[in-house]
């Protein structure tokens, strides 16, 4: 997790109010987005050392994109594992759908983080919205076939992280 959220832009000075920036941001977005849990938000940022030196919301949005990305990478590896055991073709097709969704999401999150770095927040929002859909599209592939999703946990974790990144960028643009 730590390796994935490492930022190249190291702030020149450390703000003493960092804990409160994470807390305040998580409080703001969890209040306006019922699907984002405050504790999950704070704990996710605290898992990344860069959050401790993050001085602004833009940096937190980049960190959230990286955290979502690292869950997407982890989910791809999990899908690969499930594929190796799965003999049922319709189920393999559903796993394929999820693999494609997460593979696209990784590209979208990476583009979004690059856009945030150069203050193209509108573009970042577009790419994060697209990336957010990966979790629900993957879940839908199983739900539509009335098959229990083997990726429920990963989809839920990823969905929250992507929603956090998107909510922060939406707030930045206001």
The residues that touch ligand NAG, with contacts defined as CB under 6 A, are 4, 21, 24-25, 28, 57, 65-66, 69, 73, 106, 109-110, 113, 171
Output the DSSP codes for 83-137. Answer: HHH---HHHHHHHHHHHHHHHHHHHHHHHHHHHHHTT-HHHHHHHHHHHHHHHHH
- Per-residue tokens: 166: 């998107």
Give the nearer residue to ligand NAG in terms of CB position, either 94 or 101: 101
Could you tell me the smallest distance in angstroms from the CB atom of residue 20 to ligand NAG? 8
- Please state the closest distance from residue 57 (CB atom) to ligand NAG, in A: 6
The residue among 61 and 151 lying less far from ligand NAG, judged by its C-beta, is 61
DSSP state of 1: -
| Residue placing its CB nearer to ligand NAG in the complex, 72 or 142 | 72
Q: How far apart are CA 123 and CA 128, in angstroms?
A: 9
> In the bound complex, what is the minimum distance in angstroms from residue 140's beta carbon to ligand NAG?
24
């Amino acid at each position: 997790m730590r390796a994935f959220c490492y930022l190249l832009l190291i702030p020149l000075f450390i703000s003493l109010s960092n804990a409160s920036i994470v807390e305040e941001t998580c409080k703001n977005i969890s209040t306006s987005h019922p699907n984002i849990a405050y504790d999950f938000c704070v704990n996710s940022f605290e898992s990344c050392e860069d959050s401790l030196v993050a001085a602004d919301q833009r940096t937190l949005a980049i960190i959230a994109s990286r955290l979502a990305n690292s869950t997407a990478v982890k989910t791809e590896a999990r899908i690969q594992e499930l594929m190796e055991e799965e003999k049922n073709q319709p189920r393999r097709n559903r796993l394929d759908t999820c693999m494609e969704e997460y593979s696209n999401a990784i590209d979208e999150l990476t583009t979004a983080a690059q856009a945030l770095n150069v203050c193209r927040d509108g573009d970042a929002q577009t790419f994060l919205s697209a990336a957010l859909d990966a979790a629900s599209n993957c879940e839908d592939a199983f739900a539509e076939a009335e098959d229990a999703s083997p990726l429920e946990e990963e989809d839920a974790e990823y969905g929250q992280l992507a929603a956090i990144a998107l909510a922060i960028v939406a707030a930045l643009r206001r």
